[in-house]
Amino acid sequence: MADQKEYLRNRADSQIGKIVIDRDLCIGAASCLAVAGATYELDGENKVVVTNADSVDDATLTMSAESCPTKAILLFDKSGKQVFPK
């Protein structure tokens, strides 16, 4: 089973309801931090964790997920459907 961490979003203006980090895929490239540094940080294992799921809008959050070279950031809409990666 994959090592995944889930983070729920509570922004009223957001269509994205959940962020999932696949820690098995994360290589600590930190490209997501470059795009949305208020959302993520690297932990002691050099893996990304979400520190504030509501810190950025959907467009910025999507850009941060798209920047990940290993697609370790998965985004789900409020109904639970995966919207990134498709």
Domain that residue 17 falls in: 4-84
Q: What is the pLDDT of residues 23-50, one digit of tens each?
A: 999 999 999 999 999 999 999 999 999 9
Q: What is the pTM of this model?
A: 0.94
How many structural domains are present in the chain? 1
Longest CA–CA separation in the chain, Å? 33
Percent with pLDDT over 70 in the chain: 99
Is the pLDDT score of 1 beyond 80? no
Q: What is the pLDDT of residues 48-60, one digit of tens each?
A: 999 999 999 999 9
Q: Within 13 A of 78's CA, how many CA atoms are on the CB side?
A: 8
DSSP codes of every residue in 35-58:
HHTTTEEE-TTS-EEES-TTSS-H
Q: What's 10's domain CATH number?
A: 3.30.70.20
Burial class (CB in 10 A: 0-12, 13-18, 19+), 73: buried
